[in-house]
Structure formats: structure tokens, C-alpha cells
Chain A
Amino acid sequence: MTESVETTALTPVPGATGQTGTVVRSTVLKRLFKNPLGIIALVILLGMALLALFADVLAPFDENFANISKTLASPDSVNLLGTDSSGRDVWSRLLFGAQLTLLSALLCAAVAIGIGLPAGLIAGYYAGKFEAVSNWIVSILMSLPGLIVLLTIRAAFGPSVWIAMIAFGVLISPSYFRLTRSAVQSVRNELYVDAARVSGLSDLRIITRHIFSVVRAPIIIQTAAIAGVAIAIQSGLEFLGLGDPAKATWGVMLSEGFKNVYLTPTLLFWPAFAMALTIGGLVLLGNAIRDALEDGEKIKHRRTRTPGTDPVTGRRPTAAPAAVRPSRKSVPAVDPGTEHHLVKVTNLGVGYPQADGSIKKVVDDVSFHVDRGEILGIVGESGSGKSQTAFSILGLLPDNARVVAGSIQFDGSYTVAPGEERVSQERLSKLRGKRISYIPQEPMSNLDPAFTIGYQLVTPMVRVLGISKAEARKRALKLLTDVGIVNPERTFNAYPHEVSGGMAQRVLIAGAISCEPALVIADEPTTALDVTVQADVLDLLRELQQRLNIGVILVTHNFGVVADLCDRVAVMQNGRLVEEGPVRDILRNPQEPYTQTLLASMLEGKEPMSTLVSPLQKEPVA
């Protein structure tokens, strides 16, 4: 049995068998085997395939051998599942039927793949005329009524399972075509395809090496589904009596059983059972493969664990689950003497539960504070936890994130009290937008393309400040003028795609200060902008901050931006706060080696073409 595992597991993938070995990388295969549904599906399909393969050996009778003296018999030692109305052995017919049914499903899928896949590859890669023409053909094919075409073909060519399945394969090839074409289109302009072109690879090599890999997985999943549909359609045709009566298939048996349903209901049961099992197995296999390919995401959707069972939070006694629920009454008062800080973050730890039950900490023991009218810069490289820290103040951490330690207080009261696992949305939603606002990194993706800029500025003001629409509109125009937009009326009526990136960022800044917040959190507000635009936006931020006397937390990786704006700096590395202090101290006399390395990496003032990183401090390759 073991040696046939490979082939049987892949039976629903005719035409792609050669590649499957590489697609389903061992890790995916392993994940497939770990999934109980995947194993069940594989066992069912494997069993079916083996039964079909060895039908000649396993079947005690020929498919059409009739014992007229023994019709509609109950199961006995000779006829394991009894006999039908002509005295033919049900078990034998079931086995031969499996053979024909599975093979015809394979044929159908093979034809569909054989037409849809190459056409989709060519149309997706070259686009142009071929794509236009094949789209027309596909549209025509899809508008044909499938069953009527199959009936016509039967009338023209006679009752052949094979011809019917080839025709059905052609009819459903558009689904492969569309699948392949859209997958190819998504990678056609990837840089690695460009790199292959620069290397002088022929188009054929590029398609087989670089493009085919993205369509393999969806094709396999699609095939599992298509094979199931093919079995159903084929059996349906035969159930209607349109098949070849000389061949035993599940459909013919179903039809036979239906005629005798009042005499021997089991005749109906067995072919129906076999079909349900096979089609179910195919669907489950498709799902299992999809799950195996997307396994990375599955961890995130795990049930959240109760805090009491967390093995890692052992830093301090975890609060009882009841205390975690946001409750109005029991928010403790902040430590006396710290109320005057606008924001105070104390020993904050943020983590994400992993699949194995542990918690991966992305922010660890971080403490800092920001006062009114002060700009704090949080500097660090990617993965340093700087954005996660900012998001926990905003209460915008992803659902699966856990505050594993520490507290956050805003304006004298806790938004995350010590011992709480999550940011209290109840408390924060009152603050967000009114007292705390946010300037994001990507201006364009933070404006909704479906609404005008004016609408996106007015709506929050109407909601948060409770002013009339006309009043909000007046304010919005004033704000747009304030952020240095020359023609505020026109920008107000424009849609986001009609303005430049710098302009969009000005709009978002206008939005952020529209409700007169006390704290603005800016997450890399200038990273996506050109240098000249960045300088303008920094000027704007400084001017607004001084005029409105707001506190700002500026998350950035750029020491130039820090020097331009910040009063104090906190340097973060791997989730920890490395160093914190006034901007001049940190930039001129950094104490920690990490800050020194970062500053030494700056190019400004360096001798051109000199080595930047001395071999001694070279870490294990970046």
C-alpha cells in the first residue's frame, strides 16, 4: 500500500503530476498530513483508487454477468452486497463503476487543464491580442448551457462516457483559464521576472520556471473541486439514462436502484454512498491543501487563551479573568505625582500568542512619558517594536495582541491599567479622535478612495465635536488653509486620487488636528514622501505643534527627522528601550553601543567611498 501513496494522493491532478512533487514542498505535505481532515480525505481517495485499480482482481463477477435466478437478492456470502433486478452482483458493479467513474473524472479534469492552463499562461503573460480573443471564446463557452450541450453531443456521437467527459472538460476549461490568467497577471510585473528577462531567459523558460510556480497550488485545489463536479455531472447524465447501458458506472447503478427503490432500497444506497464518499473526499482534500498552504495565517485565528493559562506571562501574577473585562468601576487611580504627564507608559510589554502556546514579545519593558507641548521621537529599525508601542497607546493593536505587562496612562487616568491584558476599547474610543489622533505612514492608503476629501474631514468632526455640517465644512476649509493647501475649496471637493502624496499627507494632518487633540501620534509621517516634500511636511508639523501646544509622539527611523523636530528621543531595539533622553544628548553623546552604531551608519558628513562599518563591529551578516 505504501508505495502507491504518492500516486494516489495525487490522482485528482492529471497533467500536473510531474510538477506536484515540487509544489507541495515537504512542509506543505507535512502540514497536510497533520490535518485530520486531510488524512481522512487522503485515506478515502486512496481507498477508492485502490479499489478501482484492482477491480479486476477484487470483483468476484464480471460487471455484466447476470444470474437471472437470483434477482434483487439480499447480501450473502456469494453476492456481498446482494444483486440487482437483473441478478448482477452489486459489489462487482460498484468496483467496475469506480474504475470508470474515477477515470472519467480524471479525463475531464485533464482536458480542462490541458486547454485552460496553457491558454491562461499565454494570455496572462503576453496579454494583448491573444488575451482579447481568448476572453471572447471563454465568455462564449461560459454562456453555453452545459447540460444541453452535453445532451446534443450525446445525440450526435452516441452514449459514450468518454466523449461526454471530454466535452464537459472543454466546457469547464474557462475556470482554469481565468484562474491561471489572473494568477499570472499578478506576478507578470514582479521584479524577479524582470530580473530573469535581464538574464536573457527565453519566455518559455520564464513561464515554466518563474510563473508556473504561482499557479500550481490554485490549480491543484481547483482540480479537486472540478473532479467532484465531473463525477456528479457524469452520474447525473447516466441517472437520466443517457449513459452507455453496457458499462457499469455509479450513475447507471443509481438509476437502476431508483427503479427498484421500493423493493430493495439498498440498491440506491451503495452507488450514492460511493459517490458521496468520493466527492466529499475531493472537497475535503481541496480544503486541506488550501489550509496547508495558508498555515501561517491559521495561528492568528486561534481561540484566545484565558490569561490564567499563559505560561509566559509569569512575570507577575496574572489577573483573574473577571478583572480583565473592562469594568467601569474598578479602574484604579494612577500613581500620585504622575497625573501631569500627558502620556505615561510604564514597563509596557506587548506579545503575540504563538501556535505552540508561548507568547512572542514584540515590546518588552518599555517606559517613557510625553508632556503637553513636547515632541518625543521613538527611533528604531524595522522590528524594533516602535510602531507596536505607538499602536498600544492608540489602542489599535491587532485582536490577537496581548498586553503582557505594564500600564499606559493618558492625562491622569489609565487606558491600560496594571494587570489588564488588553487595551480597554471602551475607555479609548472616548479619547481616540478627540484627545488622541494619528498621522499614518502611507497617506494614500489612509484616505478612502470612494469619498471626497471634504467628506472625510467633515464626518468625524460632526460626530466627535457634535457641530453642524455647515460649521464642520467651514472648519475643514480653514484647516486645509492652515496646513498650507493653496486652493482649499478645490482640495475639499477632490477625491484622494486627484491629489499628490504630499497633499494627501497634509489632508491627513488636517484631519488629525481637526478635533483639537492633546496628543498626536505620527507613525513615520514622512517616510513615503519625497525629500523636498518631507521638509515641507516637517515644517508644517512643527508650526502646528507649537501653535496648538500639543504633545507629539513621532515614530521614525530617520535621525534627520528626529533632529529636525524632537525634544526628546527614545531609541528602541528588538522591542526594548535602549536609551532615552534629550535630543542633543542622544544624538551627540550616545551612551549605548546600539545608538552609536545607528548614528555611525548615517552617511551625512562621511568621507565618500569610505568604509562605513568597521570590520570589527560587523555583526553576523545583516
Chain B
Amino acid sequence: MSTTKSAPLLTVDQLVVEYPSKKFRAKPFRALTDINITIGRGETLGLVGESGSGKTTLGRAILGLAPVTGGKISFDGKDISHATRKDRRVLSRDLQVVFQDPYTSLNPALEIGDILAEPLGVQGMEAAAAKKRVKELLDQVGLPSDAINRLPREFSGGQRQRVAIARALALSPKLIVCDEPVSALDLSTQARVLDLFLQIQKDTGVSYLFVSHDLDVVRHISHRVAVMYHGEIVEQGPADIVTRDPEHPYTQRLLLASPVPDPDRQEQRRADRHRLLESQRMQHEQAGVLA
């Protein structure tokens, strides 16, 4: 895939996110430190890391849901680091989100049709046109058109996530931030939703920032992968290289920690992992001796 040849769609430059501390005059909590990423048009950047590594915060900072303390986020040539509500409304046409939890990301009191029409209404689309678009969207994500008048609770987790995807697609955005969108789903549902993400990208050329803790998921869906650890990006590069032959010790540990579904190969991987941990420990000790 040609990725960053032309001007990238999203550029994050030296981003710092800090949350003010609850305690009086205490140092603010630094969630992200010096983040640099780019995402090209039609490209997927996978963002992998453990809980608390800051991968969700990065997605939220891009969406304007986390405070940007330093650095710059440019989207489609414009600086959006401190975009106002009004800017965001314009921006929402091109920048959308799918959250992890399909149970809380849809308002339980609204019908599916209203949920999907909401972003269209914000952009001033007529009700009749919006309804037509909602039908198209349901079709696109493989839901029956009678879903319009039903409530979120009438759907399973996988179906709800399809609704959330349809909502993100409503305005034909250029970039969708996907925050662990398949983590709450069953295995077979996860496979179908991943298929859907790939199909949509093929059809519309949308870019994804795909956040996940699962290296297998990220490997499957991403062109490039960035690995986060303690609020920093420790490694990034083409998906195949980062997820199969990583350089950073943390990524190496992550790769060998995820179990494979075959007892004998898993035994092999387990042994590899123990060897890796041992060698990393030795290196660590040596570094300590040298210092």
C-alpha cells in the first residue's frame, strides 16, 4: 500500500496529554508523551498496547475528548489540536468514532433510526433524505431495514456494533477512530465485524485508527502498527514486521505472550517466551551493572 507518499490525512506531532490532578497543587497526570503518528488516506494504523498504556487516550485526543497540553494534531491540512465545538461540528463530517462497548455507546432510549439520523441532522440534512441515507447505511452494515424502529436493547452485541459502525459511516468520513471495537464481541462475531471493517474500507477508502490490545486483531486489519507502552510509542512500522519480528523488548514480550490455538505450538511459544524473558532480564541486569 502506498501510505505516506502524498500528504497524510492525519498527522500527530509531539502530542502531550495531561490530566489535571485531583489533589491541590499536585503535578498533573501525564497520559501521553511525545506522540508522533501519521495516517494516510485509505490506510489503517493499528495501535496496540496494554491497559493504561494510553492508546485509548490518543484516540480521544484526536476526537477532542481529551485535553491536548502540547504538540499538534493536523487533520486534512488543518490544525485541530484545540478545535472549538463549531469546528468539531464541521469536522465530524470527516472524523468519526466507533467505541469499544456496544452496550453503552448507543443511547438505550432512542430508536436505531434516530441514532443513525442524528449526525445527519446535525449537518442540516432534510428528514426525508436522512431516512433514505439511514436505510442505505443499514444495508451497508448488513442489518435488516426494519431495524429503524427498534431499540438498541433488541439487538445482540455484534448487531449493536454494526449500528455503531453505521453511525460512524453516516457522513462518509475520511477517518474513523475505532477504540477496541471488537474486544467485547464473541470470537465468531468478531470475525464478521472485522470482515465488515475491511469491506467498508475497500468500498469507501476510509482510513482507520484501530486501537486494540490484541496483537492478532491489529495484525489482521492494519497496514502499519504502532505499539504503545506507558504513554509512549515504543515502536511503529509496517504491520507484518512489527507483529512478526518486533524490535522493542515490550513488543517481543507481547507477541510471545498471546497464546496460539495448538497445544504443541503453544508449548514451543511458551518456551520461547521464557527464554526471551530470561534474556531480557540478563540484559537488564547487565545494563544495571554497566550504569
Contact = CB atoms under 8 A, between A and B. Distances in A.
B262 A601 contact: no
Contact of B118 (A201, A557, A587, A605): A201
A563 B186 contact: no
B65 A192 contact: no
Nearest to A607: B220
Interface residues of B, number: 77
Interface in A584-622: 584, 587-588, 597-606, 608-609, 611-613, 618, 621-622
A200 B83 CA distance: 11
Contacts of B288: none
A584 to B, nearest CB: 6
A602 B159 CA distance: 20
B107 A210 contact: yes
Contacts of B240: 608
Contact of B261 (A198, A534, A602, A613): A602
A531 B193 contact: no
How would you classify the secondary structure of chain A's contact residues: helix, strand, loop or mixed?
Answer: helix
Interface stretch (B7-15, B17-25, B68-76, B251-259): B251-259
B91 interface: yes
A608 B219 contact: yes
A345 B13 CA distance: 59
A518 B99 CA distance: 42
Contacts of B101: 191
Contact of B162 (A190, A588, A621): A621
Given A200-B89, A557-B186, A613-B188, A604 B239 contact: no
B96 A198 contact: yes
Contacts of B192: 612-613, 618, 621-622
Given A191-B105, A213-B107, A611-B195, A601 B142 contact: no
A194 interface: yes
* Most A CB within 10 A of own CB, among B91, B95, B122, B144: B122
Given A599-B261, A603-B217, A622-B159, A612 B88 contact: no
A192 B104 contact: yes
Given A198-B65, A538-B259, A560 B122 contact: no
A105 to B, nearest CB: 28
Contacts of B159: 621-622
A602 B265 CA distance: 15
Nearest to A196: B118
A531 B164 CA distance: 26
Contacts of A210: 107, 110
A381 to B, nearest CB: 4
A563 B260 contact: yes
Given A192-B107, A608-B239, A621-B162, A200 B266 contact: no
Interface string B120-157: 00110000000000000000001110000000000011
Contacts of A310: none
Contacts of B215: 531
Interface string B224-259: 000000000000000110000000000001101111
A62 B110 CA distance: 50
A560 B261 contact: yes
B107 A621 contact: no
Interface string A183-208: 00000001110111111111101000
Given A198-B97, A560-B258, A190 B263 contact: no
A471 interface: no
Contact of B213 (A531, A597, A598): A531
B290 interface: no
The CB with the most chain A CB atoms within 10 A, among B50, B185, B215, B220, is that of B220
A559 interface: yes
Contacts of A530: 50-51, 213
A563 B263 contact: yes
Contacts of A214: 109
A608 B220 contact: yes
Interface in A376-400: 381-382
Given A199-B118, A603-B220, A563 B65 contact: no
Contact of B88 (A197, A535, A603): A197
Contact of B109 (A203, A213, A534): A213
A209 B186 CA distance: 31
Given A557-B186, A618-B192, A621-B142, A531 B50 contact: yes
Interface in B158-203: 158-159, 162, 164, 167, 185-195, 198-199
A612 B195 contact: yes
A200 B122 contact: yes
B147 to A, nearest CB: 10
B82 interface: no
Contacts of A205: 122
Contact of B64 (A197, A532, A560, A621): A197
B92 interface: yes
B118 A560 contact: no
Interface string A528-553: 00111111001100000000000000
B253 A191 contact: no
Given A530-B50, A560-B261, A604-B258, 5 more contacts: A531-B214, A535-B273, A599-B261, A603-B214, A621-B143
Query: What 9 pairs between A and B have smallest CB-CB spacing?
Result: A560-B259, A200-B89, A622-B158, A559-B261, A213-B109, A191-B105, A535-B257, A381-B186, A601-B191
25 contacts: A191-B101, A192-B107, A199-B92, A199-B96, A200-B88, A200-B89, A200-B90, A201-B122, A203-B85, A210-B107, A530-B50, A531-B213, A531-B215, A535-B256, A560-B266, A563-B265, A584-B263, A587-B261, A598-B187, A602-B261, A603-B216, A608-B220, A622-B156, A622-B158, A622-B185
Interface of B: 50-51, 60, 63-65, 85, 88-92, 95-97, 99-101, 104-107, 109-110, 118-119, 122-123, 142-144, 156-159, 162, 164, 167, 185-195, 198-199, 213-217, 219-222, 239-240, 253-254, 256-266, 270, 273
